[in-house]
């Protein structure tokens, strides 16, 4: 397949940075589409052209990448794309969405002669800016080979996880483990400090042993120790969405995910106390008597 133009829908916090790397590092033309004009205005300086309409966007693209807030948005945009796509195009969902939805969309696109893949991303906004994301792909081997050069402009780790939907399964399990680890280290620092041990010392010591993890060194040292829970980061509300997909998958698989169920309750409590827009380590506030 001769890929001349890659289209990118959804230029939010992660998508704008991803699209910029796609344009700066790739050999193809890049066209963007978003409901907000700001990202497209900024990306114009990087060579990203703006599509006037969704129809124009689809007509100009060989490969279409979507990076949207969640499953509902993916389903809505995909439904519109289905009426516009043509044979031999490829549609890739880089959002975080239910695996079941991916497996429902794939045959609908196939009926139009269009390949479909899921390729959700992990790591931080900084990684999106630097082009060092981890990208988990669910597709046929042939489609993965076609997409890998494109995805490699945005991520340093591009992994073929299996057929359509497998990328989302791996991404949801990644996020579930991150959330549950955040809960564990938030409990640890709360107990340690209440028992007279310095939280920074606790995490520095844990990082030298078997309790070390990315979450400990980043969520823990950078946010739980100083109790810094900014907005405009991966908020509790976003975490609720991703965790709900993981719990839904567990239920479909016949697995009783008790840790995820408990964490979902904590997230809802955090939202109820007004912390829904803050970075997920803010759940530490639920763990002490003086909140």
Would you name the residues annotated as active-site residues?
A: 171
Q: How far apart are CA 154 and CA 121, in angstroms?
A: 9
Tally of CB atoms within 10 A around 5: 16
Closest CA to 181 of 212, 227, 136, 226: 212
At 8, list the tokens.
Answer: 């990118």
At 192, list the tokens.
Answer: 């340690």
Q: How far apart are CA 104 and CA 68, in angstroms?
A: 18
In sequence order, what are the residues at sequence separation of 6 or more whose Cβ sits closer than 8 angstroms to the Cβ of residue 285? 270, 273, 275, 291
> H/E element holding 93?
strand 90-93
């Amino acid at each position: 397949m001769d890929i001349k133009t890659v289209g990118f829908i959804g230029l939010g916090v992660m998508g704008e940075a991803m699209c910029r790397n796609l344009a700066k590092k790739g050999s193809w033309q890049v066209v963007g589409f978003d409901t907000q004009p700001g990202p497209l205005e900024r990306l114009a300086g990087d060579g990203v052209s703006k599509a006037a309409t969704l129809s124009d966007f689809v007509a100009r693209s060989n490969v279409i990448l979507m990076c949207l807030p969640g499953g509902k948005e993916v389903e809505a945009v995909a439904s519109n794309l289905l009426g516009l796509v043509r044979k031999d195009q490829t549609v890739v969902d880089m959002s975080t969405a239910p695996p079941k939805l991916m497996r429902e969309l794939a045959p609908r696109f196939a009926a139009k002669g269009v390949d479909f893949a899921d390729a959700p991303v992990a790591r931080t906004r900084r990684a999106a800016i630097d082009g060092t994301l981890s990208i988990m792909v669910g597709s046929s081997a042939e489609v993965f080979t076609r997409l890998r050069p494109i995805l490699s402009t945005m991520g340093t780790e591009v992994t073929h996880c299996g057929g359509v939907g497998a990328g989302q399964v791996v991404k949801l399990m990644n996020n579930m483990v991150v959330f549950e680890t955040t809960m564990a280290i938030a409990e640890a620092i709360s107990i340690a400090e209440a028992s007279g041990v310095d939280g920074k010392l606790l995490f520095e010591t844990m990082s030298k042993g078997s309790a070390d993890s990315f979450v400990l060194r980043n969520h823990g040292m950078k946010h739980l120790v100083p109790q810094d829970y900014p907005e405009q980061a991966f908020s509790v509300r976003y975490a609720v969405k991703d965790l709900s997909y993981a719990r839904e998958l567990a239920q479909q698989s016949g697995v009783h995910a008790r840790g995820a169920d408990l964490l979902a309750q904590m997230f809802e409590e955090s939202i109820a106390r007004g912390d829904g827009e803050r970075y997920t380590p803010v759940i530490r506030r639920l763990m002490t008597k003086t909140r």
